Chains A and B, each alone.
Chain A
Amino acid sequence: MDFNYSQEQYLMQDSALALFREIGGPPAARRAYAEGAGVARTLLPRLAEQGLLGGPLSGDFGGSELSVLDFALVFEAAGRTLLPFPLAETFVAGTVLNALASDGQKHRHLENINAGQTLASVAWGATDKGVGFTGVEALTEGGVMRLYGRRTGVPFADAADLLLVPVESKTGGGRLVALVNPHRDGMAIRRLESLDGSAPLSVVDFQGYELADDDQIWDGEPTWTLSVNIGRVAYAQEALGVAEQVFAETVEYVKVREQFGFPVGRFQAVKHTAADDFLLVESARVANRYAALMATEASVDAPLHIMMAKAYSGDMARRVTSDAIQLHGGIGYTWDADVHLFFKRAWRLASQLGTPVALREEMAARVIDARRHAG
């Protein structure tokens, strides 16, 4: 029984955190608020240099076939430093292409992803507010497949070179995942005014985009399910990182901020909030750890435990970052203090890839309803 990450996994986190602190942190997050998705492109060379873009790839493409469990602590580090980069999406794209793409597709994309030449993202948001296939349809006319429709909440879309898009084929074949170049004809990208400027989001419209045969990954259903599951684990871990960083800063703050002649951290009202938040953070930590393990072992219970971790971590991060504002007092409500960057990032992470409420409803179907049907 060893329910902990390995020494190697912690070492990778340490080195990732050191890099993210240098190139990320609140200053980089603020740059993304001001300048948009392009900031992610400026980070590509350093991330590539440290081998953080090709983690899941096979050795042929410069990676070391890392699992989401191997990489989980890196996502946490990205959350701690508010990294303005689609790290989860890069990892999802790498994992999916490495496992399920054709040789040609691999050769076209994987080396470039690993080298920081290609910035990848994933078109998460369906038009029905979920993460399913709703939104983009494919019509094949005269041997040419064209995409029509919309996906939303797509991270860093306007800076990306490659989007993974779930597509429903209306002319046979079922579902597929499309590899889309957002800068080609037939695409329109509109940046959304997003609360969390550290991760710019866009609406992506497909207006007859021509999808070549070798940009299609069939067996779309399991491909997309894998993407969503890995994405959820990554987001849950990012939310954990966001919360634990701002929590640590808040604990240090209440040790030095004095009122009534004492550090405010001496008062029980403050202590009890901090203790409750500590409990939430540590509980999310074990939930996420288990979810990452289940995802990597491809357990049948994996989706349920991934939803659980994502929902719990989302709620946890929203609460902990909100308490952080409260415990900072007036300064916590200013633009110049960094606390709000964490708060907004937490809410964005909780809202994407399944809100806590939506995830719990899905869990209820698997636990409560399945139990009823089993008699």
Chain B
Amino acid sequence: MDLSFSPEQEAFRTRVQEFLAEVLPKSPGAGRRGLPRDPAEQAEIGRWWEKTIWEHGFAGISWPQEYGGQGLTWVEQVIFSEECARLNAPQGLNGLGKGLLGPTLLVEGSEAQKQRFIRPLLMGEEIWCQGYSEPNAGSDLASLRSRAELVGDEWVINGQKIWTSGAHHADWCFVLARTDPDAPKHRGISFLLVPMHQPGIKVEPLVQLTGQAGFNSVTFDDARTPKENVVGSVNDGWRVANTVLSFERGPTIVGRYAGYMREMEALMDAAEAMPGPYGTASRDSHFRQRMMEVWTEIQILRLHGYNVITQLQQKNRMGPEASMLKLYYSEMHKRLGDLAMDILGPDMPFSQGLESLGGGVLHRAFLGARAETIFAGTSQIQRNVIAERVLGLPRDERH
């Protein structure tokens, strides 16, 4: 057992640190400054960040150089995520493109698709959104009803997608649509790449419980995309989509602990500042116990990360146990948020003023965590996956 990184990996970390020291002071949303409340300004920061990391040679760290990546490994990707989280670097606007679409194209895409799409994605010139969930297909995603029909050289798409994060910024959407209505529900789905800027697509904002409109409803009304924009075989989209999910739930989680640790620091600051009947919350044994429980869970997330890195070095991919980490961090984050609000006590609704809802790290954690146990497979679905695919409990045929 040896937790040190190789000299090459440490040199890479130093390069990342130098890069962040150079660019973060220029970023309005980084470091101790909160993000601006205006979503348009937030998006501009996210776009700027994508271009900045591309220009400095940190885009697509583990992706092949021939498509614009850096040709390194997951370990360097993890180091980069970790350093960014530690210093509160901005979130890029193309998270879905980089976290989901790119890795899928690299595995399932045709050579022409890789050549066409990956470089602009990495440069931040083409922003992607994900067209999966529908009003009646959430956890039961395979019952989706959006349809695509081949008419001449084009797919013609009709239907509605929902909870589509960032659709209002996106240039392209990767869409799951039914292409064989007579096949069993998992078998008649295709994975399509669809341009967003066309008359057949209507994007309508949905306001989240944070008060901001980060996601959307996207309606396809005879929307079109060229015939060749199907990833994998026609009607094989369910399998292609599951390639994506295993990436989605895997290594990108590793860098998260540094961000949670920053929130924990803010929480402990609040505990020092909040008076209560037994002294400050930081001196009240009830809160001390709960703080150390959450602190422990964050530390353990870091250790799960070491485990993931070890596995990635040996196998270069994650198995179904990646579901475990998604369940772990999202449920943990909820407890962190709840504890923070309990520490604020009667000031919970308005501590730090209303600004806290947009910029306050604790309120943002508290509210944002509600989404994390739902998106990318709810906690209930994650538990099913663990029980069936890891523990081998009998499948329920309904899913």
Which positions in A face B, CB cutoff 8 Å? 1-6, 69, 251, 254-255, 262-263, 265-268, 270-272, 274-276, 278-279, 282-283, 286-287, 289-290, 293, 305, 308, 311-312, 357, 360-361, 363-364, 367-369, 371-372
Contacts and interface: CB of A to CB of B under 8 A. Distances in A.
Contacts of B3: 1-3, 293
Interface string B293-326: 1011101100110110110010000000100100
Contact of B296 (A3, A262, A312): A312
Contacts, number: 141
Nearest to A290: B303
A286 B300 contact: yes
B142 interface: no
Given A270-B393, A311-B292, 15 more contacts: A3-B310, A251-B393, A262-B394, A268-B380, A272-B387, A275-B383, A275-B386, A283-B328, A289-B1, A360-B292, A360-B293, A361-B288, A364-B289, A367-B291, A368-B292
Contacts of B306: 1, 3, 286, 290
A4 B312 CA distance: 13
Contacts of A364: 288-289, 291-292
A311 B296 contact: yes
19 contacts: A4-B307, A251-B393, A255-B392, A255-B393, A272-B383, A274-B387, A275-B383, A275-B384, A278-B386, A278-B390, A279-B327, A279-B328, A282-B304, A287-B303, A289-B1, A290-B303, A311-B292, A361-B289, A367-B291
Interface of B: 1-6, 9, 75, 268, 271-272, 282, 285, 288-289, 291-293, 295-297, 299-300, 303-304, 306-307, 309-310, 313, 321, 324, 327-328, 380, 382-384, 386-388, 390-396
Chief secondary structure at chain B's binding surface: helix
The 8 closest A-B pairs by CB, nearest first: A271-B387, A275-B383, A3-B306, A286-B303, A275-B386, A265-B393, A364-B288, A360-B292
A266 B394 contact: yes
A4 B307 CA distance: 7
B291 A368 contact: yes
Given A251-B391, A268-B384, A271-B388, A3 B293 contact: no
A72 B394 CA distance: 33
Nearest to A304: B299
A1 B308 CA distance: 10
A360 B288 CA distance: 8
Contact of B268 (A4, A282, A368): A368
Contacts of A4: 1, 307, 310
Contacts of A286: 300, 303-304, 306-307
Contacts of B295: 363, 367
Contacts of A357: 289
A265 B295 CA distance: 33
Contact of B299 (A262, A275, A308, A369): A308
Contacts of A271: 383-384, 387-388, 393
A6 to B, nearest CB: 7
A2 B2 contact: yes
A105 B302 CA distance: 42
A1 B75 contact: yes
Contacts of B304: 282-283, 286
A2 B313 CA distance: 9
Contacts of A274: 386-387, 391, 393
Nearest to B382: A275
A265 B3 CA distance: 38
B394 A255 contact: yes
Contact of A266 (B75, B282, B293, B396): B396
Contacts of A1: 2-6, 9, 75, 306, 309-310, 313
A266 B393 contact: yes
A308 B391 contact: no
Nearest to B327: A279
A371 B391 CA distance: 41
Contacts of B395: 266
B332 to A, nearest CB: 10
A278 B321 CA distance: 10
Contacts of B394: 255, 262-263, 265-266
A274 B272 CA distance: 38
A169 B30 CA distance: 57
A293 B310 CA distance: 15
Given A270-B393, A271-B393, A2 B1 contact: yes
Contact of A2 (B310, B384, B388): B310
A364 B384 CA distance: 35
B311 to A, nearest CB: 9
B303 A3 contact: yes
B1 A6 contact: yes
A3 B289 contact: no
A305 B291 CA distance: 15
A371 B384 contact: no
B393 A254 contact: yes
Contact of B324 (A268, A282, A289, A372): A282
A265 B282 CA distance: 43
B391 A275 contact: yes
A363 B293 CA distance: 10
A368 B380 contact: no
A272 B327 CA distance: 11
- A262, A268, A289: most-surrounded residue (chain B CB, <10 A): A268
A363 B292 contact: yes
A170 to B, nearest CB: 33
Contacts of B303: 3, 286-287, 289-290
Contacts of A265: 387, 393-394
Given A1-B310, A363-B292, A368-B271, A272 B300 contact: no
Contact of B391 (A268, A278, A372): A278
A172 B330 CA distance: 55
Nearest to B281: A368
B267 to A, nearest CB: 10
A275 B268 CA distance: 31
B289 A278 contact: no
B282 A368 contact: yes
B272 A69 contact: no
Nearest to B321: A282
Contacts of A276: 383
Nearest to B265: A371
B10 to A, nearest CB: 11
Contacts of A312: 296, 300
Nearest to B272: A372
Nearest to A247: B391
Contacts of A287: 296, 299-300, 303
A54 to B, nearest CB: 23
